[in-house]
Amino acid sequence: MEENIGTALVVGAGISGIRSALDLAESGHRVILVDRAPHIGGILSQLDYQFPNDRCGMCKMLPMINRDSSSQYCLRKGLFHENIELLLSTEPVSVQGEAGHYRVALRKKSSLVSEDLCIGCGECIKVCPVEVPDIFNAGFTARKAIYLPVPHRIPNTFVVDTDSCTMCGACEPVCPTGAIRLSEREHRQFRILVVDDELIVRDSLKELLEDEGYSVDMAESGAVALERLSGQKYNLMLLDIKMPGMDGVTVLRKAKEEFPDLTVLMMTAYATVETAVEAMKIGAIDYLLKPFETDLLIPKIMGIYNEFEAARARFVDVEAIVLCCGTGFFNPADGKDTCGYHTLPNVITGIEFERIVSGTGPCGGQLVRPSDGKRIEKIAWFQCVGSRDLQNNADFCSNICCMYAIKEALLAKSSTNGEAETVIFYMDMRTFGKSFQRYRDKAQDEYGVRFENARIHSVVPEDGTGNLLVRYVDTCGKIHEECFGMIVLATGQRPVKGTAELAGITGISLNPWGFAETAPFSLTETARPGIVIGGSFSGQKDISESVIQASAAAACASGAILASGKSPMPESLQETVSPELLREPSRILAVVCTCGKSILAYTDKNMLSEKFKTDPEVKNVIFSERICTAGGWDELVGHVRKYKPNRLLIGACLPYMYGRKLKELEKETGLAASLTEIVDIRTPELRFSGENTGENQAAVVIEHLLGMGLVKLKHAKPSTAPSLPVTRNCLVVGGGIAGMRAALAIADSGYRVDLIERSECLGGNLRWITETIEGFSTQTLLNDTIQRIEKNPKIEVHKNTNVLASFGEAGLFMTTVENSEKEVQTIEHGAIILATGGKETEITAYGHGTSEAIVTQKEFEQRITARSLDPSTLSSVVMIQCAGTREEPKNYCSRICCTVSIKQALFLKKQNPEIAVYVIYRDMMTYGFTETFYTQARKAGVIFIRYTKDRKPEVMVSGPVPKVKCFEPTLGEDVEITADLVILAAGVIPELPAGLASAFGASCDTDGFFLEAESKWRPVDSIKEGVFACGLALSPRTIAESVATAEAAAQHAIRIISRNRLPFGKVTAIVRHSLCSLCRQCIEACPYGARILDTENEQILVNSVMCQGCGICASVCPNKASVIEGFSTRQILEVIDAAICI
Amino acid sequence: MENLTQNETLHDERSCDPLVTVQKMVNSCLQCGTCTGSCPNAFAMDKTPRQLWHLVHLGYTDEIFISRTFTLCSTCYTCTLRCPRGLPLTEAMSALKQIAAKENPKFYRRSILFYKNFIESVRRHGRVREAEFMTLYFAELKNPLVPFQFAHLGIKLMLKKKISVRFPSRGNHQLESVFRKVEEMEPKS
């Protein structure tokens, strides 16, 4: 079976890459996750505060089900999952093959530091003479050529920046573990043998080639050359033809006989070309005529070297490739308009600001100017720097800058107790995401962030103060001059470095601005099947959109893997603990690692050993070296076999690295993984290193830690790792495009789906839409999708059916449905996807309903489709944006209406260029690449008039045609427009009845949309495990975005229904019913909603799949009735005792 | 209050409307205000450049041609350089100047005479001779009060030797052929 397991390659280990990799791994595929950086986390590793709660939260992506398969700590530090192989500093260099079978060559850039040996002591940076700006801190601080890529990484091994390293070698001798190997530099490993009888030729060649970084040896004659060849492996021989004694051709012939793989380049001055050609027949690769130019020689050798490099690449066979390569940023210093960036020190970019307020940044989290350390009293953000700028070939919006500018302004406010004055200069505030509009309003009204609708061109320094003067015109036309202490530029997106090369390798296409292009109606699929895009690689996205798209990419990749005939990994066997084990007295084996410069090397091992052995349960104490290496581990396994302990204590470094090894150990020797304790003895050693009393103190601390581990192990209970059976099918409620695509994604993975649709036909909103703004036909999409649904034997469609009731939990839900004939049916399913959709808001504002000439966007679309409206008869059309939303009580942006208006305006202008089209708007939300259509509309002569919500346009319907009166802010006066047609952008409301949501244990937000478990990191999940949502029920979105949420939700459901049994985490809460007084405090306290009151049996029940073992219930329980397995009171108290007394 | 219905005639006669060329130039304007913030003469203008472009969008011919904004454009090209949309704003200003001169010569008489005499001085000498240019300008304005309005500035400039006081002369006509050629090339109107 082993060889039939599918593998996916995920390129890029930012948050999208991690999300995709985890999704694939959790559904049983093997994943190779590569990143060219020496750390994971991508750009998020530099950002400490995320919207909306100014926290990180990356760890929320970790598996919730079967969570013991992965490391369970900060994802910014590292990721360890059983099914994921993480390769850092690695890039794909070639992709061969086709859908279902790709062979990818991966090249790893050597960091010149052995990860196995480096203990992160930092001795090397003390001696390194090279200082370069630290990219991690956006250049505000300096680092050495050997450095830690991010301060919080685990394992904290150093890497050498080969671009800036001078290879002086100072660090090599100071490394206590000999981890630094500068000779591993790629070029150094390429060994060249120069064979020439003339000393001057040999010497000059050696010097030249060594300057290029190669390792060079010399031989003065053929005989010496052959001798050298037999003693050492060479990659290239430069061979002179005319030599006394043995001539070149003979040497070549002999060398080729013995080393047929050796590459030989002939050199000749006197010999004829015929001889050289003869040499090539024997096997020389080429010849050079002496005297040769270095310009000729170096490229030739480079060519041979590249082949050598390529051959060293690791080849992997994968069924699917997910590209999550992220995005780059515009550098204002390169633009036509620099805003003083790089010339004025206090003009910075958004990412630099994030570093300034970061605790690990140059100012330790204080909001001061790095240039002079002054406190910042007034700070401005300039939006759209390098976006929406035709002069810089950027006819697109960068999606996220508006929101991060607001977040940064609020950060500035909070770090100065609200004293800093903050101003955001914007063109349109694009708050198009869920909850974004309320966040903006809060920033403005509650925190006093000033929003100024203006674009500023130039920044002038104020004399001597470092402050910055700007000049701008406000909406009324008044010109202002203002002085700021700091200016933050919201720099736009650019394709990440290497995008074009990667596109060349993988054969995907790029859009006109160089970003990866996806297929119509998909945010993930490319022109090549099996190669999909995740995250910001196809245009910058915020966290929630990135993870949605990454999950969708995982769904597509998973589909491609299964389509190629591969299958997921079989579920690991149930851990069963024999009853004898519980009765057996403990036999503890303690193995302590003494590797490297371990403190334990200096302490008295015998004394430590004796101390442990005073405990009768400790049978053996062994000191070992390098447990982390393969050899060290084998030794440990040998000890386990020899002493046959039933509990194992290991003192070593990096405890989280041992998860997989312990499981293997359990398989090999039967020693339960749950009865193993690993104590981190490395961290105290590092902490106390360098202090005078350091070694003694560290030794004491390590002794305590080992003692604590021992007590913990003694009281550990063998876990039974229970699990729940799973009903392996899924229920999808809603037959719109999101519901249909979710159903298809699940059915294509081989699981059954029941698709519930309350009306008589599938399609939802797609039925009244004909075309997207890009010109893709939605009817073709609809018909194709319905056909695929009908043909799929795994999907059962229930039309005219409503959900009556449901109960159950992840793994098994029982849902009762009723059709139009009042027939009731109960469906059992393992997961549920709510795709109930949304609809256009019904409005009465702006005279809607009083005149035939006042319509909503949907009504307009329907009239055009029905041909009941002829554009050639119209002379003036007014569109009013935000007619139904973006103010209380529906204070959210409907995201799609601006694009729809632009689409309709362009349609009208195309049909009849004489129509005057007026769009009355608040902020044009043409985010991302739809911005280009906004430009097109402007060019086509559509007139745009901005309004604010306190001065709305009025529609008057007294005469034969309506008149629209509005305030024109640029002119500062009211205008009146006679309109043949008024189109209202009514906005989107969800159609998710609160009763339906709560039937499945989900809930709705204040606007009636599905309430996610976490708006950023778990955007399609409900707090209740096994319940997911997609499409308009989640939030307003376009067709392609709805499809992405559908695929993401499907992928999350597959994580559950692809298993026969759902394994729980080892650490979960249990209730001692005899002690429980049913006070229900624990139910309220549980952040995962894992507890319910069983009224029938009068018991509190814990859903072990949903319980994450956080322990809050145990701390609120007044009776100690709530207990966390593996953390019994007695055990913890004894651990504390062990920590404080000796 | 403005009434757009009045301007509908304007839409109907688009083909012959001289404003259409200017509209095409500035159509994709986003109303960001960079031009106004950058314009060194904006303080003296009755409409800011941003307002002017929006009037052009809206086709408010009447309002545009009672404004003197475009006559104050000194063709420094700052706005063209800085416009994020890369629009030819200085050219659009020049186009408005030309339309104004053609459509409403009476209203823009002073501006027209100013430009005419400025270029006349250039035609004679290859550069502008300030004193000569002002003399010609005042002479054509036929309003004895105007020179007094400029007297204060003129004296200041003279004291700082910014203006060379020379009598008007016919010049040496070296540029004459160039100007004639341009006249030939320009469409007759």
- The reply to whether A976 touches chain B by the CB within 8 Å rule is yes
Q: pLDDT tens, A203-214? A: 888 888 888 778
Q: Residue A345: which residues within 8 A CB-CB, separation 6 or more? A: A369, A370, A371, A466
Q: Residue A248: which residues within 8 A CB-CB, separation 6 or more? A: A195, A222, A239, A240, A241, A242, A266, A268, A271, A279
The per-residue pLDDT for A278 is 83
Cα separation, A1112 vs B130, in Å, equals 86
Q: pLDDT tens, A745-758? A: 999 999 999 999 99
- Least CB-CB distance to A976: which of B4, B38, B54? B4
Q: Is the model's pLDDT at A229 over the cut of 90?
A: no
Q: Is the model's pLDDT at A902 over the cut of 80?
A: yes
3-state helix, strand, coil in chain B (%, to 5): 65, 0, 35
Which two tokens mark A1008? 């009636």
The per-residue pLDDT for A602 is 56
Order across the sheet with A801-809: list the strands.
A801-809, A812-819, A824-829
Q: Which range has the worst mean pLDDT, A91-100, A432-441, A677-686, A1002-1011?
A: A677-686
- Name the residue of chain B whose CA is nearest to A471's CA: B37
The per-residue pLDDT for B4 is 47
Q: How many residues does chain A have?
A: 1142
The mean per-residue pLDDT over the stretch A702-718 comes to 86
Nearest by Cα to A587 from A669, A651, A645, A638: A645
Q: Is the model's pLDDT at A697 over the cut of 90?
A: no
Cα separation, B44 vs B59, in Å, equals 23
Q: How many residues does chain B have?
A: 189
The per-residue pLDDT for A316 is 94
Q: Which range has the worst mean pLDDT, A72-81, A427-436, A657-666?
A: A657-666
Q: pLDDT tens, A12-45? A: 999 999 999 999 999 999 999 999 999 999 999 9
The per-residue pLDDT for A1142 is 55
The answer to whether B87 and B31 are in contact (CB under 8 A) is no
The per-residue pLDDT for B8 is 41
Cα separation, A885 vs A338, in Å, equals 37
Percentage of chain A modeled with pLDDT above 90? 56
Average pLDDT, chain A: 89
Gap from A374 CA to chain B (nearest CA, Å): 29
- Least CB-CB distance to A938: which of B11, B28, B42? B28
Which two tokens mark A173? 């001798």
Are residues A473 and B82, on separate chains, in Cβ contact within 8 Å?
no
- The reply to whether A630 touches chain B by the CB within 8 Å rule is no
Cα separation, A310 vs A333, in Å, equals 36
Give me the residues paired with residue A480 across strands.
A472
Cα separation, A1034 vs A189, in Å, equals 55
Q: For an interface test with B, which of A385, A455, A964 has the most B Cβ atoms less than 10 Å from its Cβ?
A: A455
Which two tokens mark B175? 């540029």
Cα separation, A531 vs A526, in Å, equals 6
- The reply to whether B111 touches chain A by the CB within 8 Å rule is no
Task: Choose from A54-58, A135-139, A251-255, A779-783 the range with maximum mean pLDDT.
Answer: A779-783
- The reply to whether B5 touches chain A by the CB within 8 Å rule is yes
Roughly how many angstroms between the first and final C-alpha of chain B, as a whole number? 35
Can you say whether the dihedral through the CA atoms of A49, A50, A51, A55 is positive or negative?
A: negative
The mean per-residue pLDDT over the stretch A312-317 comes to 89
The answer to whether A162 and A109 are in contact (CB under 8 A) is yes
Nearest by Cα to A371 from A458, A461, A456: A461
CA geometry: angle A708, A710, A713, nearest 5 deg: 110
- Name the residue of chain A whose CA is nearest to B27's CA: A939
Q: Which range has the worst mean pLDDT, A436-440, A888-892, A901-905, A1058-1062?
A: A1058-1062
Q: Residue A709: which residues within 8 A CB-CB, separation 6 or more? A: A649, A651, A677, A678, A679
Q: Is the model's pLDDT at A1127 over the cut of 80?
A: yes
Nearest by Cα to A551 from A26, A5, A4, A30: A26
- The reply to whether A787 touches chain B by the CB within 8 Å rule is no
Mind giving me the DSSP string for B106-155?
TTTHHHHHHHHHHHHHHHHHSS--HHHHHHHHHHHHT-TTHHHHHHHHHH
The per-residue pLDDT for B2 is 45
The region that residue A539 occupies, defined by phi over 0 for left and psi between -120 and 50 for alpha, beta otherwise, is left
- Least CB-CB distance to A971: which of B32, B33, B55? B55
Distance of CA A958 to the CA centre of its chain: 56
Q: pLDDT tens, B36-68? A: 999 999 999 999 999 999 999 999 999 999 999
| Of A165 and A183, more confident | A165
The mean per-residue pLDDT over the stretch A801-813 comes to 91
* Cα–Cα distances in angstroms (integers) from residue A146 to residues A35, A139, A184, in the given order: 19, 16, 14
Instruction: Sort A860 into a burial class: Cβ within 10 Å, 0-12 / 13-18 / 19+.
Output: buried
- Name the residue of chain B whose CA is nearest to A386's CA: B84
Going by pLDDT thresholds of 50, 70 and 90, the confidence category of residue A257 is confident
- The reply to whether B83 touches chain A by the CB within 8 Å rule is yes
Cα separation, A580 vs A207, in Å, equals 72
Going by pLDDT thresholds of 50, 70 and 90, the confidence category of residue A764 is very high
Q: pLDDT tens, B109-130? A: 989 999 999 998 999 888 888 8
Q: How many CB atoms lie within 10 A of CB A544?
A: 21
The per-residue pLDDT for A1 is 43
- The reply to whether A472 touches chain B by the CB within 8 Å rule is yes
Q: Is the model's pLDDT at A762 over the cut of 80?
A: yes
Peptide bond into A52 cis (omega under 30): yes
Going by pLDDT thresholds of 50, 70 and 90, the confidence category of residue A1089 is confident
Going by pLDDT thresholds of 50, 70 and 90, the confidence category of residue A598 is low
Are residues B31 and A946, on separate chains, in Cβ contact within 8 Å?
yes
The mean per-residue pLDDT over the stretch A977-984 comes to 95
Which stretches does DSSP call E strand in A99-172? 101-108, 131-133, 142-144, 146-147, 159-160
Q: Is A1039 helix (H, G, I), strand (E, B) or coil?
A: helix
Which two tokens mark A850? 């009083």
The per-residue pLDDT for A260 is 84
Q: pLDDT tens, B55-101? A: 999 999 999 999 999 999 999 999 999 999 999 999 999 999 999 99
Cα separation, A1049 vs B149, in Å, equals 77
The per-residue pLDDT for A115 is 80
Are residues A935 and B57, on separate chains, in Cβ contact within 8 Å?
no
Q: Residue A506: which residues within 8 A CB-CB, separation 6 or more? A: A92, A95, A321, A323, A526, A528, A531
Cα separation, A413 vs A419, in Å, equals 6
Q: Which residues of A touch B48 (CB under 8 A)?
A: 473, 477, 479
Are residues A456 and B42, on separate chains, in Cβ contact within 8 Å?
no
A779-789: burial string, b at 16+ Cβ within 10 Å, e else: eebbeebbebb
Instruction: Sort A1008 into a burial class: Cβ within 10 Å, 0-12 / 13-18 / 19+.
Output: middle
Percentage of chain B modeled with pLDDT above 90? 46
Q: Which range has the worst mean pLDDT, A265-279, A908-922, B145-159?
A: A265-279
Which two tokens mark A172? 């090599």
Q: How many CB atoms lie within 10 A of CB A287?
A: 21
Going by pLDDT thresholds of 50, 70 and 90, the confidence category of residue A256 is confident
The per-residue pLDDT for A695 is 60
The per-residue pLDDT for A694 is 56
Are residues B48 and A477, on separate chains, in Cβ contact within 8 Å?
yes
Q: Residue A888: which residues within 8 A CB-CB, separation 6 or more? A: none
Q: Is the model's pLDDT at A948 over the cut of 60?
A: yes
The mean per-residue pLDDT over the stretch A420-442 comes to 95
The region that residue A487 occupies, defined by phi over 0 for left and psi between -120 and 50 for alpha, beta otherwise, is beta
Q: Is the model's pLDDT at B34 over the cut of 90?
A: yes
Are residues A938 and B37, on separate chains, in Cβ contact within 8 Å?
no
Cα separation, A199 vs A394, in Å, equals 59
Cα separation, A320 vs A39, in Å, equals 23
The answer to whether A11 and A321 are in contact (CB under 8 A) is yes
The answer to whether A558 and A749 are in contact (CB under 8 A) is yes
Going by pLDDT thresholds of 50, 70 and 90, the confidence category of residue B9 is very low
Give me the residues paired with residue A450 across strands.
A423
Are residues B14 and A976, on separate chains, in Cβ contact within 8 Å?
no
**Pairing status of strand A84-88 against strand A30-35:** parallel
Which stretches does DSSP call E strand in A588-708? 588-593, 618-624, 647-652, 676-680
The per-residue pLDDT for B151 is 86
Which residue in this structure is represented by tokens 């000498």? B125
Q: How many CB atoms lie within 10 A of CB A199?
A: 10
- Name the residue of chain A whose CA is nearest to B82's CA: A457
- Least CB-CB distance to A477: which of B3, B14, B50? B50
Q: pLDDT tens, A374-399? A: 999 999 999 999 999 998 899 999 99
The per-residue pLDDT for A536 is 94
The per-residue pLDDT for B1 is 44
Q: Which range has the worst mean pLDDT, A597-611, B85-99, B148-162?
A: A597-611
Cα separation, A735 vs A1031, in Å, equals 11
Residue type, B56: V
Q: Is A624 helix (H, G, I), strand (E, B) or coil?
A: strand
H or E element: which one contains A288? strand A286-289
The answer to whether A193 and A180 are in contact (CB under 8 A) is no
The mean per-residue pLDDT over the stretch A466-488 comes to 92
**Pairing status of strand A493-494 against strand A328-329:** antiparallel
Q: Which residues of A touch B32 (CB under 8 A)?
A: 427, 454-455
* Cα–Cα distances in angstroms (integers) from residue B45 to residues A479, B36, B110, in the given order: 12, 10, 16
| Of B15 and A593, more confident | A593
Cα separation, A891 vs A437, in Å, equals 7
